[in-house]
Amino acid sequence: MDRIRIEGGRPLKGVVEISGAKNAALPILISSLLGTGCNVYRNVPDLRDIHSTLDLLNHLGADCRLNAAAHEVTICADGLIHPEAPYDLVRKMRASILVLGPLVARLKTARVSLPGGCAIGARPINLHLKGLSEMGARIELQHGYVEAKADHLKGADIYFDLVTVTGTENLMMAATLADGTTVLRNAAREPEVSALADTLNAMGARIEGAGTSVITIHGVESLHPVKFRIIPDRIETGTFMVAAALTRGDVEIVGCEPGHLDAIIHKLRLTGARIDTGPDRVRVIGPETIHSVDIKTLPYPGFPTDMQAQFMVLMSVAQGLSLISETIFENRFIHVSELRRMGADITVSGNAALIKGVPKLSGAPVMASDLRASACLVLAGLIAEGVTEVQRVYHLDRGYEAMEKKFQALGAAIERVRDG
């Protein structure tokens, strides 16, 4: 397994270009199941999760072509589509559950392996299933699979007890071909949900209100192919913004969408970082003294849970005490134990972590446990005294395209060590 080796202490300087958003690309690629013909997607990031998604879509009968160098994917879904997403594919990526809605809408039947939990939490899909059954699907859980059948999905008025991003996306896709109108209430407002709605509307769907907590979908007979460009990744952007502040550097982040970053920009400015924004760029200049700032993760437009671990690294070397409350997932402090091994002073109680800033971290061999935790450990290595080796970087490769190369170009002493 590959490792990332970092020698800390270098301020990051220069320009970095952001890739397409993983969490927009996954549902958008999967939405190709809803129509026939060939869809062309641009600015698709070259990530493990993208490859897993294309493997699954190929298994289902779509014809997927990836031009990784051009960041372009073509998907033709007019062949025979099969209704079953098997465990050995779904277990690699829980977002595979997003094929459920489209398969039921298109084939009237679907058999999808239950995704199971993951490192950061149980992550049930009860709200996905509740919504589909309200649209008339008959749901059965057996042998680790969810089986859904519907002669024809019908519009329904659905309220989400919890804000769920992929739950909103799954039901939005199912509703595009349902009879009548579906209303999703307490829907997720993430930019990735809006990007999916934009894609579906470009395919001929009739979706209103995406980006707000009430989304209305008027069902249509069929959808036609689309050419669509994936939006920039706001979490990759935020990760590089924190890295610039952390290393007291000066970094211009281009090809991003500042309008998706309000909470991150606000909190980083409070730490003392100077942040200038342009139409598609953000410049971050790190402060001499990093001030401690409290954060609470919330659904968009609140502070994103996917930035919690990265921000914790910044707070671990800030002046004073900061409190981080994780309200989205029940077990998203796994990175704390590895940061402690690097000298961080962090106390966890329930869903809150109290961080007492220390003058410096010290390099150590550390182990990644999930995607954003691995990013946080790389950030810690950038400022730690000495050498840090991050193991199990396959987690990192799921959601960051060539992260070590991008940091190298900004002056970091970082390399990927390939094992075997």
Q: Which residues are catalytic?
A: 118
Q: How far apart are CA 99 and CA 34, in angstroms?
A: 10
Q: Which stretch binds ligand EPZ (CB under 6 A): 2-10, 76-84, 122-130, 212-220?
A: 122-130
Q: Are 192 and 218 in contact (CB under 8 A)?
A: no
Q: Are 235 and 229 in contact (CB under 8 A)?
A: no
Q: Which stretch binds ligand EPZ (CB under 6 A): 59-67, 157-165, 206-214, 310-318?
A: 157-165
Amino acid at 133: S
Q: Which is nearer to ligand EPZ, 295 or 328 (CB)?
A: 328
Backbone angles phi, psi at 295, to 5 degrees: -135, 155
Q: Which stretch binds ligand EPZ (CB under 6 A): 165-173, 200-208, 245-253, 281-289?
A: 165-173
Taking CB under 6 A as the rule, does residue 259 contact ligand EPZ?
Answer: no
Q: How many residues does this entry show for the chain?
A: 420
Least separation in angstroms between residue 93's CB and ligand EPZ is 8
Taking CB under 6 A as the rule, does residue 23 contact ligand EPZ?
Answer: yes
Residue among 60, 95, 173, 197 that touches ligand EPZ (CB under 6 A) = 95
Residue among 9, 61, 124, 255 that touches ligand EPZ (CB under 6 A) = 124
Restricting to residues 352-371, name those near ligand EPZ by CB under 6 A.
371
Least separation in angstroms between residue 310's CB and ligand EPZ is 11
Amino acid at 327: T
Q: Are 132 and 148 in contact (CB under 8 A)?
A: yes
Backbone angles phi, psi at 147, to 5 degrees: -110, 125
Q: How far apart are CA 141 and CA 233, in angstroms?
A: 34
Both structure tokens of 320: 């004073």
Q: How far apart are CA 165 and CA 177, in angstroms?
A: 20
Taking CB under 6 A as the rule, does residue 117 contact ligand EPZ?
Answer: no
Taking CB under 6 A as the rule, does residue 123 contact ligand EPZ?
Answer: yes
Q: Are 102 and 173 in contact (CB under 8 A)?
A: yes
Taking CB under 6 A as the rule, does residue 167 contact ligand EPZ?
Answer: yes
- The residues of the shown chain that bind ligand EPZ, judged by CB under 6 A, are 22-23, 26, 95, 121, 123-128, 162, 164-167, 192, 305-306, 328-329, 371-372, 399
